[in-house]
Structure 1
């Protein structure tokens, strides 16, 4: 039986679902779930009381260190949370290597440590084992997932349901942004915040999708025949670059590689030339400003740069997708929206079905 604080949002009667007797066409689930996000995000931001309750339990016994455990897209959300924890809470934070527990049976002293396990399904055996072992070793454990009755929620002391609703496409879209928003609300509440920077996140997400429609179409036309692409960002936006690389690889089968802007200049830039496409995430703030020199360098080498973000207009690029400006720490929630639509469009343009990528399943079980 689960003990400790628990929060689950109800299934909303306005939830958008696909009900049809015919077999859905390629990408229909993914397209619908991308379109669903503004409404979902608005409801998550409004219903933050449960997150606040979990945050208070954490703040009442402040940790000295934070660890985050995740896989796949959730790992990118965890990296985003790492930035939030270090910058907004002033706590050191690190990403867990699950195999140290599952394969090597390491059992470090985790007293006064906060472990946040992030999983859309909550069913990956390695994350369940890591969370259970961490709790046994003294950690305060928090499960963040989209499945209230999952094994992960069962072994954690505290739990938060991200409330994204059922996701039928294999590629994560609404569960990813819902996870980002939930993690932001959690960290913000731990520091005593009111979530003011995301009060209108649903409206901003709707604007991001509507205003980027034409530029997304142009990007699909421009890059449909590209063979390899580099994605890059700095600070909070590095998580978006990683997620962009994964989405392009798993839906369009592109040879995609993500680098932080700083790492890109430390060697990999030598492989950039006029045959290289670069998807650069650049939003208003310190991370976006740090990308200026990076994009100048890749532009000098002839790369075809697609800039995405609220600061896209201020960097050298062949194509730009501008987004509404927000506080820097919440920008990744919006940055990924046009990326998802580009991944969907490229997959369809290249003859694939992003709802059913070859060799992938919705829940990946690893140990």
Structure 2
């Protein structure tokens, strides 16, 4: 029997990593939320790249839905390449990086700190340059992640950021759902999505979502490119019908992410419509009439549903890499830590 890839091993470790975050990270989350709650925050920012930027997209939706405050993504190159400084006094910034070592993320964060923003480093490396450039650090406690593809660190970044927002909101129901995530993710790891594996001759595919689920759709598309060398594009289900739908042909692969939230039916309607066009569509909702339903774990809160869905997806993409004859632990041209300027 072939030895399991590091990626597969680390996917299996996600529930334990989240449990470790919930145990070891509580003091930091409580202290930071207490400090931030006393400030007059009017706007939130994020600084990140790659999977970490997808985590920030998820946190953007969560922050806007929970706190009623806008959150914007800041281009890291503003400081590192263009030498520009933003007037960010009184703002709250999430800087997310599993390594905390990328110079552009660090420089932008330092610039925002110097301008008077409250900057939070969400990282797996609390001794990193990013942590040193930030007002406070939120360690994600993921443990060593050896596969190039981020899985444990992506999920724990989502949970850490969402947990902080839930504490700021004093949302007891959401906090309870977060505390029960390890149990839900244990089940999510076992969900078999292999029927959604694209065939070897597929040249392109779509992933879809809306709201917080669009963030995990973005992550899914990246993982197809990164670990399977498949061209995948992520779209909001509201955008895919505006132009991208033109390339839909018979058996064109689509995976649609839908949580049990206000956008679920809208995502399902698009999934069913694409299926009627001949596409091979899979969706994480039992409400579908035409699209194929994927097994999914519903959590105790609609904001945590996308976290369970991406954990199940990771098992699929690791499986597809194997079908393609690719080692997902060592994607070509990629390193674990990418230090962009």
TM-score for both structures, normalised by structure 1: 0.88
Within 5 Å, give how 1:342-361 maps onto structure 2.
Answer: 342-361=316-335
- 3-state SS of paired residue (1:305): strand
Runs of 4+ in structure 1 deviating by more than 3 angstroms, as ranges, are: 222-225, 312-315
Q: 2:250 aligned with 1:274, yes or no?
A: yes
Q: Which residue of 2 aligns with 1:334?
A: 308
1:248 to 218, 224, 235: 224
Q: What's the offset of the Cα at 1:102?
A: 1.9
Q: 2:134 aligned with 1:160, yes or no?
A: no
Q: 2:340 aligned with 1:363, yes or no?
A: no
- 1:119-162: CA deviations, max 9, x gaps? 11100100000000111112111111000111000110111100
Output the CA distance in 1 between the equivalents of 2:186 and 2:170. 28
Q: 2:202 aligned with 1:202, yes or no?
A: no
Within 5 Å, give how 1:302-321 maps onto structure 2.
Answer: 302-308=278-284, 311-321=285-295
Output the CA distance in 2 between the equivalents of 1:50 and 1:288. 34
- 1:263-304: CA deviations, max 9, x gaps? 112111121121410010012111212212211321121100
Output the CA distance in 2 between the equivalents of 1:46 and 1:317. 40
2:238 to 255, 259, 262: 262
Q: What's the offset of the Cα at 1:39?
A: 1.5
Tell me if structure 1 keeps the 8 A contact 2:268–2:283: no
Q: Which residue of 2 aligns with 1:219?
A: 196
Tell me if structure 2 keeps the 8 A contact 1:283–1:312: no
Q: Which residue of 2 aligns with 1:82?
A: 60
Output the CA distance in 1 between the equivalents of 2:293 and 2:115. 50
Q: Which residue of 1 aligns with 2:75?
A: 97
Tell me if structure 1 keeps the 8 A contact 2:271–2:283: no
Q: 1:358 to 1:65 in 2, by over 3 A?
A: same
- 1:281-337: CA deviations, max 9, x gaps? 0121112122122113211211000213xx245353135232234311111210101
- 3-state SS of paired residue (1:56): helix
Q: Which residue of 2 aligns with 1:123?
A: 101
| Gapped regions of structure 2 (runs ≥ 5) | none
Q: Which residue of 2 aligns with 1:7?
A: none
Output the CA distance in 2 between the equivalents of 1:347 and 1:201. 27
- 1:236-267: CA deviations, max 9, x gaps? 10011000000111000001000011111211
TM-score for both structures, normalised by structure 2: 0.94
Q: Which residue of 2 aligns with 1:289?
A: 265
What number of residue pairs does the alignment pair up? 337
Q: Which residue of 1 aligns with 2:205?
A: 229
Q: 1:363 to 1:26 in 2, by over 3 A?
A: farther
Output the CA distance in 1 between the equivalents of 2:321 and 2:336. 18
| Gapped regions of structure 1 (runs ≥ 5) | 1-24
Tell me if structure 1 keeps the 8 A contact 2:110–2:134: yes
RMSD (Å), alpha carbons = 1.6
Output the CA distance in 1 between the equivalents of 2:321 and 2:23. 34
